Amino acid sequence: MSNEMKGVLLAIGATIGWSLSGVFIRYIPEIDAWTFNAYRGASMSGALILWMLLRYRGETVAHFRQATLIPLVATAGFFGIGSSLYILAMQKASVAAVSCVAATSPLFAALLAWVWLGERTRLMVFAAILVALIGVAVVAFGESGASLTGLQGSLIALVVALCFAGQSVTLRRYHSVEMAPSLIVGGFGIFAVVALTQGLAPISRNEFLILAAMGAVQLALPLVLYMRGARYVPAVQMVLISLADAFLNPFWVWLVHGEVPDRSVFLGGALILGAIVAVTLRRAAPDNSTPAT
């Protein structure tokens, strides 16, 4: 098997793992978003520590010592806030709506990279962001037809996309920094913050096991697979593969829980994903023109 095929399979495995979030969330909808993400984050961090111990063995501590403060705090902060709001959005809106809106993250990452890193950004990216925001509006107001909380969930998902974009740009800015320690700090950090400020609501043993499984299977394992796959597959292809989450996530929820999204989600989702695919494929094409800045 070629390295490229290995990378593609790893990326597909990561995307399938991420797409299980809605299924887990719908199993225990009564848990508040902060308690939910506190336990999920802690279990993800525990699983990542186990992975680092198996991979680096005695050098694990050295990887934490090499982590510098700014990327560590920024990545952990974006992850903690974004993942918590993601759970809250899922509890208010349909899985399909949240997945489609959160898929705008690559476009916002391109915009943030232009502002923060000075990377050249094509005029097409700005046009795609506009189209994607129109898609977000279609999804959000379609959800509001079902309930006010649906509109709130869609708007919260937009903030989630911005947080994930910030995390992506931070990792790009500090590409030499190991990702795992920052995510581990983020997972344990959100647990500590929730415990100290909000308090952890009591949960049953079954709920704890579901959250522990979610942190390991839906977060930690996909992160490991994605990090390994990124070595062999171009970033453009990785983005395209990860877009499958917008379809798989609501598909699994429909299959397991019978949740059917509003028709507006299909229209808005098509605008969002079409804009991202157009930009991604354009980036992969040879550039013979002067990019807009």
**Span 102-148, pLDDT tens digits:** 888 888 888 888 887 777 777 887 888 888 888 888 887 776 555 55
Query: How far is the C-alpha of 258 from the C-alpha of 184, rounded, in Å?
Result: 34
Going by pLDDT thresholds of 50, 70 and 90, the confidence category of residue 149 is low
CA 184 to the chain's CA centroid? 15
Residues 139/264, Cβ–Cβ less than 8 Å: yes
- Residue 103's closest CA among 273, 284, 240? 273
pLDDT single digits (tens) 18-57: 999 999 999 998 888 889 989 999 999 999 999 999 988 8
Residues 200/194, Cβ–Cβ less than 8 Å: yes
Q: pTM of this prediction?
A: 0.80
Query: How far is the C-alpha of 80 from the C-alpha of 147, rounded, in Å?
Result: 27
Percent of the chain's residues with pLDDT above 70: 90
Percent of the chain's residues with pLDDT above 90: 23
pLDDT of residue 288: 44
pLDDT of residue 237: 67
pLDDT single digits (tens) 272-290: 888 888 877 776 555 443 3
pLDDT single digits (tens) 51-110: 999 988 888 888 888 777 777 788 788 888 888 899 889 888 888 888 888 888 888 888
pLDDT of residue 160: 92
Query: How far is the C-alpha of 188 from the C-alpha of 192, rounded, in Å?
Result: 6
- Residue 154's closest CA among 81, 89, 83? 89
Angle, vertex CA 244, rays to CA 143 and CA 4, nearest 5: 165
- Residue 87's closest CA among 21, 143, 27, 16? 21
Q: Would the pLDDT of 291 be above 50?
A: no
Is 106 exposed, middle or buried, given 0-12, 13-18 or 19+ CB atoms closer than 10 A? Answer: buried
pLDDT of residue 7: 83
pLDDT of residue 176: 66
Largest Cα–Cα distance in the chain? 60
Residues 157/104, Cβ–Cβ less than 8 Å: no
Residues 271/135, Cβ–Cβ less than 8 Å: yes
